[in-house]
Structure 1
Amino acid sequence: MAKRRLFGSIKQLKSGRFHVRYPHPVTGVSLNGPTTFETEREADEYLARVRSRIADGIWVDPILAGVTLDSFAATDYFPVITVSDRTLERYRDDYTKWVSPPYPESRSAVHLGAMRLSAVNVVAVDNWYAAAKVATRKSAIDYYTRTGRTAPSDAGATQLAGAYRVLRQIMNQAVRQKRIFTSPCTISNAGTVKDKGRSPATPAEVAKASLAMPPRYRLSPLAAAWSAFRPEELFAVPRHGWDREQCAFRVVQVLEELRGQPVRIKPLAKNDASLRTVHMPRWFGELMEEHLAEFVPEDPMAIIFATSNDVPPSRSYRSAMWSKARRTIGRTDLRFYDLRHTGAKFSAETGASIRQIMHRMGHKTTRAALIYQSHSSQEDRDVAGRMESQRPGTVIDLTARRAVWLSPSCPISPRGLS
């Protein structure tokens, strides 16, 4: 028989083990313990822990935590997150390809997607991460082999980091909904990829690659490199988005391309950092006027870099064009998107401030802008060269191991050197 107590009940089964029940703190529905216990003391300690967690407000509903990770992601994560359709598609792809499927060949045979949220603990995530690391690397190496390129040492790192970020966001959502108490995603820096530094194109490389592009797209690499636009921004600029007098582009819309759907144009929200005006060099303005006269209809809404049918080029078509162009300059590593980084580097080399670089790139944070303001050894020597003009007129007496005041503008402490 069950023994009456202040909270919950304990009943000894025919097997000799002990079964516990306790009331749901909100609905009052009777809940079973997660397992049976070998001794009554263990059962009593479990009930005490449950009661303490309810009192402290950290109790997790086992019914809510009993759904599988796949089920929770499908009903309580993907439908409610506020991201663009393209980003949502990428998140779903990362989850479906790397997080949800089983890894039977791994030592732990982990299958996160089929596990209950309450069972997805730190050990399970660590085992999944180890298995996914092998799988993403193998997939990346296969891709490089098919395309005739040499795989880098960190092949697959980007895919692995993206999958981990999605898993971490899903588990954080479960914490917010009080389905679990803490997130099991605790691997340091697993959601980031180490920045190995970029190799931006030189102005000469961009110009040479441009000449290898089809005539109606010949100006697009120059536009990308000197505007630092994202490809989806550049190939969505309409004729009215070019200001001839100011020699500037206005970003007001972007391309959005989802799997199985035609390319569409999406207006930007008024509070979007991508909504901006970016000025271009005057020499570019002359080339743009020639491009407009030859390839772009007079319609203000006509896309500047469009196909002969006046529709935006698809991602695959743009990629095919650029792949041929970059081979002419021997830069098979250079993606069209990398021209955006090239443009940011060009801006930094002119002495642009962090805020100015952020504006040109359409960024809300300073992180990316700081990357492009990192100095090379030559740049550091240039700084030292400019410091020559700051040479003081008074010499510090080092033999006496003391410093003297050089000038009112150079407050060296007179307490001596040690």
Structure 2
Amino acid sequence: MARKRRGFGRLRQLPSGRWQAAYVGPDAKLHKAPRTYASEHDAEGWLAAERRKIDLGTWGAVERSDGVTLRRYADRWIEQRALRTRTQSLYESMLERLILPELGDAKLTALTPARVREWHAGLGTKHPTRNAHAYALLHAICATAVADELLDANPCRIRAAMQTKRRRSIDVLTPVQLDALAAAMPAELCASVLLAAWCGLRWGETSELRRRDVSADHSVLHIRRAVTYRAGRFTVGEPKTAAGSRDVTVPPHLRPILAAHLREHVGRGGEALLFADAGGTHLRPDRYRAHWEKARAAIGKPRFRVHDLRHVGAVLAAQSGATTAELMHRLGHTTPQMALRYQHVGEGRDAEIARRLSKLAVAG
């Protein structure tokens, strides 16, 4: 069929009814669209995108990226991001262990959906969460390459590859079990268990708490920092999320315990850590873990993790009637979905809800 004249490029409708687009590039050569289009509008869209590349001076970037390997681009991707120390170490570890051994020497332009699927299948099925994180990292790197116009499209297209199902159920301790767990810890660490649980703190937030972060009446914790430990070094920075900087109200029953801890186990200066080693510096995770493993075994919960304390606190807060917005604030979450994960129905809770419903019915 006849070609349509245009200011830039040309369109031609094929006998099949589909549309073909082409244009003469800055190199004076004819460039055809990589495929035909079902509508004239879609074909025009491809021409418009090519014209935009010419106008921005990025035309031919994909061709020029032929020599750029994933390893080289990933290194640059890491360098250009303001990542937390622990996050950067995690990304570098995933790249070196899971991504680059198979794909590192591949040219960016050689990363096809088929090759990515083959790599992903090679990761196996034993570690779904690890695989999802590695795939998400590769997807993010390739998405930036698309934005940089080094790739025409993201080759990471495996449906649901970044999603995982929780394989491990988390125990929700009762207040009695929580007290027993705390009592099984050394006296100077007992309050760390109770604060982490009842205030919904991350381990990095708990271990960076200082005397100046506690209000004078012991009713509020000012969460402004968190500490990470990596490769033998402590790094103090902001909390994990923007919402992580927050003021958390200490439950009234816990305030006398906090006051006693400050009096008996914490230095007088405002910078004194609430939970420190013998030298007054941050307590190493492995040393805390040694006490933790004994304590959890003592209450019959040998798989209960330190981070699960935060989960317990969130569930208890939800059971007390906290709304999603209130949970988001208390836990330092940025999205409702994260807070909603903790709104479980604890053992026996449904019966309590039913009892309250009947009470409403009688009162009404």
TM-score by length of 2: 0.80
Deviations 1:220-239 (A, max 9, x none): 11111101100000110110
Match of 1:159 among 130, 147, 157: 130
Equivalent residues of 2:170, 2:304 under 8 A apart: no
CA apart distance, 1:381: 4.9
- Distance in 2 between residues matched to 1:120 and 1:93, nearest whole Å: 21
- Distance in 1 between residues matched to 2:313 and 2:270, nearest whole Å: 27
CA apart distance, 1:82: 3.2
Change (3 A) 1:358 1:303: same
Match of 1:318 among 259, 274, 288: 288
The answer for the alignment partner of 1:357 in structure 2 is 327
- Distance in 1 between residues matched to 2:158 and 2:108, nearest whole Å: 18
CA apart distance, 1:371: 1.7
In our comparison, the structure showing a higher alpha carbon Rg is 1
The answer for the alignment partner of 1:99 in structure 2 is 99
The answer for the alignment partner of 1:407 in structure 2 is none
Equivalent residues of 2:213, 2:222 under 8 A apart: yes
The answer for the alignment partner of 2:304 in structure 1 is 334
* Match runs of 1:193-208 below 5 Å: 193-196=164-167, 197-208=169-180
Deviations 1:95-134 (A, max 9, x none): 1111111xxxxxxxxx211111111111111111111125
- Distance in 1 between residues matched to 2:300 and 2:159, nearest whole Å: 37
- Distance in 2 between residues matched to 1:243 and 1:268, nearest whole Å: 19
Equivalent residues of 2:205, 2:225 under 8 A apart: yes
Residue 49, structure 1, aligned to residue 33, structure 2: yes
CA apart distance, 1:159: 1.1
CA apart distance, 1:212: 2.2
Equivalent residues of 2:324, 2:340 under 8 A apart: yes
The answer for the alignment partner of 2:227 in structure 1 is 255
Equivalent residues of 2:220, 2:249 under 8 A apart: yes
Change (3 A) 1:131 1:267: closer
For the residue of structure 2 that corresponds to 1:219, the secondary structure is helix
Match of 1:228 among 200, 204, 209: 200
- Structure 1 runs of 4+ off > 4 angstroms? 50-54, 376-392
- CA root-mean-square deviation: 2.9
Match of 1:346 among 316, 323, 330: 316
The answer for the alignment partner of 2:38 in structure 1 is none
CA apart distance, 1:286: 1.0
- Distance in 2 between residues matched to 1:377 and 1:202, nearest whole Å: 9
Equivalent residues of 2:225, 2:236 under 8 A apart: yes
The answer for the alignment partner of 1:69 in structure 2 is 70
Amino acid at match of 1:203: P
Identity of aligned residues (%): 27
Change (3 A) 1:355 1:193: same
Change (3 A) 1:233 1:120: same
CA apart distance, 1:280: 1.4
The answer for the alignment partner of 2:121 in structure 1 is 130
Amino acid at match of 1:191: M
- Unaligned stretches of 5+ residues in structure 2: 1-8, 10-22, 36-42, 51-58
Equivalent residues of 2:197, 2:313 under 8 A apart: yes
- Distance in 2 between residues matched to 1:71 and 1:259, nearest whole Å: 24
For the residue of structure 2 that corresponds to 1:170, the secondary structure is helix
Change (3 A) 1:63 1:363: same
Equivalent residues of 2:67, 2:107 under 8 A apart: yes
The answer for the alignment partner of 1:192 in structure 2 is 163
Match of 2:146 among 175, 178, 193: 175
Equivalent residues of 1:227, 1:280 under 8 A apart: yes
Residue 264, structure 1, aligned to residue 232, structure 2: no
Corresponding pairs, count = 324
* Match runs of 1:279-290 below 5 Å: 279-290=249-260
Amino acid at match of 1:365: T
The answer for the alignment partner of 1:406 in structure 2 is none
Amino acid at match of 1:248: V
Of the structure 1 ranges 190-199 and 363-372, higher mean CA displacement relative to structure 2 is found in 190-199
- Distance in 2 between residues matched to 1:387 and 1:283, nearest whole Å: 28
Equivalent residues of 1:213, 1:322 under 8 A apart: yes
Equivalent residues of 1:213, 1:325 under 8 A apart: yes
- Distance in 2 between residues matched to 1:173 and 1:124, nearest whole Å: 19
Equivalent residues of 2:315, 2:344 under 8 A apart: no
- Distance in 2 between residues matched to 1:174 and 1:24, nearest whole Å: 22
Residue 120, structure 1, aligned to residue 90, structure 2: no
Equivalent residues of 2:146, 2:154 under 8 A apart: yes
Amino acid at match of 1:121: T
CA apart distance, 1:375: 3.6
- Distance in 2 between residues matched to 1:374 and 1:242, nearest whole Å: 30
For the residue of structure 1 that corresponds to 2:123, the secondary structure is helix
- Distance in 2 between residues matched to 1:189 and 1:212, nearest whole Å: 42
- Distance in 2 between residues matched to 1:329 and 1:189, nearest whole Å: 38
CA apart distance, 1:343: 0.5
Of the structure 1 ranges 327-336 and 271-280, higher mean CA displacement relative to structure 2 is found in 271-280
CA apart distance, 1:24: 7.0
Amino acid at match of 2:292: W
